[in-house]
Structure 1
C-alpha cells in the first residue's frame, strides 16, 4: 500500500451542558459578552468521576465499530491529550485494554490543541511505512479539570469531549502530507504549567495576532502539499478555539462559496486536542461533505505549535 486514509470516525461528549448564563452566575460575564467575543453559546462538562480515558474510550469505540474492523486488527493506538492525569500507563494503553485491542503499540502525544493533527500525521507515516495496517487516533480532553473558574477570560472558552479516527492502509493517499512546525519564541502564549492540577492560561491577543497572521499561509502550504488550492476544498476544520479566530482565518483563504466551515465551537467550546476530530466526526455524521471530498484539517496550540493536512472525507 502506498497511502493511508481515514476510514471511520466517532465522537463523544459528556451529558452536562454549561450555558453562558450558567457562567454568568460564576464570574462577571454575560451571554452577550461571551458570544460577541468568542461565538460560544454552550460547552459540555464531564462528571467529576469521568476521566480522559473514559472520554477517549467512548469516542474510539464508536470509530472502531463504524470501521467494521476487529480490535485485533488495530496495530497502533495513540491519544492526543494534555489533560490526562495518569502519567503511566498511558491513556492510549488504557483505551486499548478497555476495547480489547491485544497487542498494538500504544502511546500518548501532547502537542496541546495541535495534538490530534500531529498524531494523525504520525499514524499516516506509520501506516505508509508498514509499521501498522490500521491505527486508532484519538483526541480527548477534560479541560474542566484544568480550568480556573474564577478567570472569565478563559473559563468561558473551555469544554470537554473526544473524537477518534481509524486510519487504514490504502492504495491511494487519503491523508495528504503534513504541514507542521512550531514557534518556540512564543511558547508561553498557550500554557498548562505547574503541579498535578495546573490551570490553563494563555495570552489571548498574542495568540489571535499570530494565528490570523500565519495560519492562512500554513493552510495554503498544506493544500499545496496535497496538490490543491484552498478553492478546491469541500470543507475546512480548524482547531475550534474561538469563532472569531476561525472567521478571521477563513476570510483570507479564498475558499469556494460552497466550502463547509466547521463551527462546532459554538456548541462545544474549545476542547483542545479533541476539537478537530470532534468537529470532523459531526460534520461527516451529518453528511455535510461528500465522502471522498477534500477537507483541510488545521490546528495550533501550545508550544506555539501547528499541524495540518488535507484528508479525503470518510
Structure 2
C-alpha cells in the first residue's frame, strides 16, 4: 500500500491519583515547588500487582474496538517500553496473548521516552513494504517501578500508563516519513540502570538540549511531511515537563495548534506519554478528525523521532 494511517486510539491509566500534596508528605517538596519547576499537578501510579502488559492490552483493546479491527486480523504488535517486567515473554507477546491474537509478529521497542514514535514509524514502514496490513502500536511504562521515591528531583515527574494506536494500510498516507536520530555522546544524560533499576537524569543537560536543539528538528519533521508549523491542528510532544513543552511549542511556531499538556494531570509516563495525550485530545474532540498533528518524542539515549499524522 502507498501508506498507512492511524485508525483509532486508546489509553489506560491506573485509578490511583497521587497529588503534589501527597508527595510533600514523602519528600522535601511542595505543590508550589513542583508546579513552578515541572508543571505537574497529579500523576497516576499503579497499585502493587498491576503490570505494564495489563495496561498495554487494555489500551490496545480500546483502540481495536474503535478501529473495528478484530484481534485475529492483527499482523504485528509493537510495544514501546523501558519498564517491562521481564525480558521474555516480551511485553508485546504478553499483550497478544491477553487479547487472543492469532499469530502476529510481537516486538518490544526500547527507546525510552521516544519509543512510541519509533514504534509507529516501524509499523508504518512494515505496512508500506507489504509486510503487514494491521498493526497495534503501544507505548506503555510504569515509571513508578524505576523511581527513587526519596529523590525529589525525579519522583515529582513520573507517572504510569499506556496508550495505543491501531495502524492500518491506507491508499492516502496518514503518517509522514519519520525523522529520527540520537546524540550518542550524551546518551548518559538520562539513564535507567542499577540493581534495582532506577531512573536518573542530568536535568540541565536535558533542558538545554530540548529547548535549544529540538525546535529545529521539530521543524524538519514538518518539512519532511510537506506542512508548515502554522498549519498544524495539534502538537503532541513527549510529556516530559511543562517547562520543556511550552518553550518547544513557542519556538516551533505552531500558532494555530492545540498543544498537548497532559503532563499536568498524568506526569511523565515515558513511552506512554504521546499516545495517552493524543488519545485524550481526540477523545475530547479538541483536534478535528482528518487534521494534521505533529508527534515528536525525545528523551532517553538523547534519542528523538517525529512524524506528522492525520488525526483519526
Same fold (TM over 0.5): yes
Q: 2:65 aligns to what SS in structure 1?
A: helix
Residue of 267, 287, 301 corresponding to 1:269: 267
Are residues 1:285 and 2:283 paired?
Answer: yes
Q: CA RMSD in A?
A: 0.6
Structure 2 match to 1:200: 199
Cα distance in structure 2, aligned partners of 1:207 and 1:32: 22
How far apart in 2 are the matches of 1:54 and 1:291?
29
Map residues 241-260 of structure 1 onto 2, 5 A cutoff. 241-256=240-255, 258-260=256-258
Alignment of 1:153-302 (within 5 A): 153-195=153-195, 197-256=196-255, 258-302=256-300
SS in structure 2 of the partner of residue 58 of structure 1:
helix
Distance 1:39 1:177 in 2: 32
Does the residue aligned with 1:14 lie in a helix, a strand or coil? Answer: coil
The DSSP-based 3-state class of the residue aligned with 1:77 is strand
Residue matched to 1:310: 308
Distance 2:287 2:184 in 1: 35
CA distance in 2, matches of 1:254, 1:302: 25
* SS class of match (2:268): coil
Count of aligned pairs: 312
Segments ≥4 residues shifted beyond 6 Å: none
Q: Residue 22 in 1 paired to residue 22 in 2?
A: yes
TM-score, length-scaled by structure 1: 0.98
Q: CA deviation at 1:194?
A: 2.2
| 1:141-160 alignment runs, 5 A limit | 141-160=141-160
For structure 1, the residue ranges without an aligned partner over 5 or more in a row are none
Q: CA offsets per residue over residues 251-306 of structure 1, 9 Å max, x none? A: 111222x3100000000000000000000000000010111100000010111100
Matched, 1:11 2:11: yes
> Distance between the aligned counterparts of 1:102 and 1:94, measured in 2?
13
* 2-structure distance, mates of 1:139, 1:122: 13
Cα-to-partner distance string for 1:155-188 (whole Å, 9 max, x where unaligned): 0000000000000000011000101000011101
Aligned residue runs from structure 1 range 38-77, under 5 A: 38-77=38-77
SS at match of 1:200: strand
Instruction: Give the secondary structure class of the aligned counterpart of 2:239.
Output: coil
Task: Verify: 1:37 aligned to 2:32, yes or no.
Answer: no
Q: Secondary structure at the match of 1:282?
A: helix
Q: How far off is 1:55 after superposition? A: 1.2
**Deviations 1:183-215 (Å, cap 9, x if unpaired)?**
0111011100123x3110000110000011111
Deviation string for 1:85-117 (max 9, x for gaps)? 210011000100111111000010000100000
Structure 2: where are the runs of 5+ without partners? none
Q: TM-score, normalised by structure 2?
A: 0.99
Tell me by how many angstroms 1:72 deviates: 1.2
> Secondary structure, in 3 states, of the residue corresponding to 1:15?
coil
